[in-house]
Structure formats: structure tokens, C-alpha cells
Amino acid sequence: MQPRNMSMSGAVDLSAVKAAGEAKQKAEQARAHSAEGGGADAPSSLVIDVDEAGFEAEVLQRSAEVPVVIDFWAEWCEPCKQLSPVLERLTREYAGRVLLAKIDADNNQMLMQQFGVQGIPAVFAVVAGQALPLFQGAAPEAQIRETLDQLIQVSEERFGITGLQGGIAGAAEDAAEAPQAPEEPEDPALVAAQEALDTGDLNGAVQAYQNVLSGDPGNVEARVGLAMAELLGRVQGLDAQMVRKDAADRPGDVGAQLQAADLDMAGGHVEDAFGRLVETVKRTSGDDRETARIRLLELFEVIGAEDPRVVTARSALARVLF
């Protein structure tokens, strides 16, 4: 969950879509044409929905002017629902230094394959036509900010890309033009819990969500938030390489399997996490089996009961237990 130390060594090759040089050349031509008075206005929206048909124009070409952050999401994905609003808010706050492209994973499988996405939410960046993996899974706001700051620095130092001119004005236009829907009153306790989660205060988030649930045990948002905060707390500070080695070397060690499953889940590898714990339940008995079963149920809460992966894993768990 820590932000990456940015370099282009992990970039995804997007030559199958369009070469970086061609994208940059087109963008320069468009800017020159605009300067002569014949071009379209600069894009005013900093958060856009993108599909496969519009990927070249909306992402590759714009990436020659501004780092484009890509958010792979889906309607059924509960961590996506926590991460996406944070990305949108920060994008507008950065006021033209980054652009956010939201891609529906269910409807854009070709892009999922080209980027090598194995789980969502998954966040990438495209700079000068080259894709750079940022992180998978939900992350605290402080870590997302650090990642964006690194992205902006790399974009400027390596490619001379400094963002959209007039981005601040564009962001203001977005806010002015957005329809003002009546706001529902927010639960102050839930707001406090979410703020604690966004800022990385995991202990505070856990306590805040528990406070909500003490008065409203059926509150779905609090249950999901609590499960996410507890998950992030468990993986914080773990040595991923050591955890995975321990899990591979000691398949019968329930603690090692629980830690590996948590890392899988936090990294967006949902099926791997579920499969590991179902297999652990299968091979254990007594208290060890119950421990693994409870952890699996806790991870179900992170994703949500309606997620098809949860439905599949519940069936697998039932076959193992009964």
C-alpha cells in the first residue's frame, strides 16, 4: 500500500495502442493550431470517463501535456467506492497538474488486459504515452497525495510535462457548472470515521466505525469501513516478501496464511485472498479452522456481499465446511 518510488522502469508498453512520440507530436500540433486561432478550447474537465474507443484521444494524446491518472473501477467494487471519490477530489485540488481518467473495468476488458490489471481498484498513470503502475487497492489519502506528488515530479523532470495551462480556471468552471443537487445530511460520526481513514489514522478510523456500529449494528457503510480500516492496519508495516515466503514454506501455518491473504486483498488480488483462506479452512480443524473462517468472513465485508467473487467464495467455503 506504500506509494511507489517513481521511475519509468515499471512502465507498461502501450505501443499496441500508440507510440509515445506520435501522441506527443499530435498534442504539439494541436497546441500550435490552437495558438493560431483555429483549435478547440482546452479541456475544462479534470475528471473524465474513458472507454476503449476514446482512449487514444482522451488519455494518450493528453498525456503529452499532463500526467493522466487512470482509475480502473466497477460498480460492484466496494473499495472502488471508497477510493474513487478521494481521487476525484484530489484531482480537482491539484487544479490541472494531473488529469483523472475513470475506466469501467467490466466494459473495457481490452484495456484491462493491456495494462495487466489483475484486481480492482487499480491505479495507473500515463505520461508522454507511457503507462506507469501506481498502486492497487484502496489507500489512505496521505499515501495517494505522496504518489501524485512523485508522479508530477517525474513528469516534469523526465518529460518536461507541467500540466494543463488554465487548469485552475478549468477546475473552477467545473465547480460552477456542476448541477447543485440537494445534499443529504451526513452522519457526523461516519464523516469523522472516513476522514480518519483518508488521513491514515487507522486506529481512529476503527474506533469511529465501531462507535457507529454500537448504535446502528446494521449500518453497511460502517461495516465496510471498519473491515477496510482493520485490513489496512493489519498489513501496515508487513514485509511482503517475507510474508509470502513464510506462507509458501509453511502451508499449514494459519497465521502465515492469514497475513498472506491480507496482503492479497490489500493489493487487489481478491480471488487469491479468498482461495487461500478457503484452502486453509479445508486443511485445518478446530480453532485454526475457525480462525481462518472468521478472517474470510471479515474480508467478505471489505468487498460486499453482492460482489460475484464473494458469492463464489461463499459457495466454496460451504462445500469445504459441509
Determine the Cα–Cα distance for residues 63 and 287; give it in Å rounded to an integer. 53
- Residue 172 near residue 44, CB atoms below 8 Å: no
- Output the nine-digit C-alpha cell for 94: 491539484
Collapsing DSSP to helix, strand or coil, 47 comes out as strand
Strands 68-73 and 99-104, bridge-based pairing: parallel
- Residue 68 near residue 57, CB atoms below 8 Å: no
Exactly one of 17, 20, 59, 80 is catalytic; which is it? Answer: 80
Q: How far is CA 305 from CA 78, 197, 257, 271, in A?
A: 10, 22, 23, 14
102 is catalytic: no
Determine the Cα–Cα distance for residues 7 and 150; give it in Å rounded to an integer. 9
Exactly one of 50, 60, 77, 164 is catalytic; which is it? Answer: 77
214 is catalytic: no
- Residue 296 near residue 317, CB atoms below 8 Å: yes
Could you list the active site residues?
77, 80
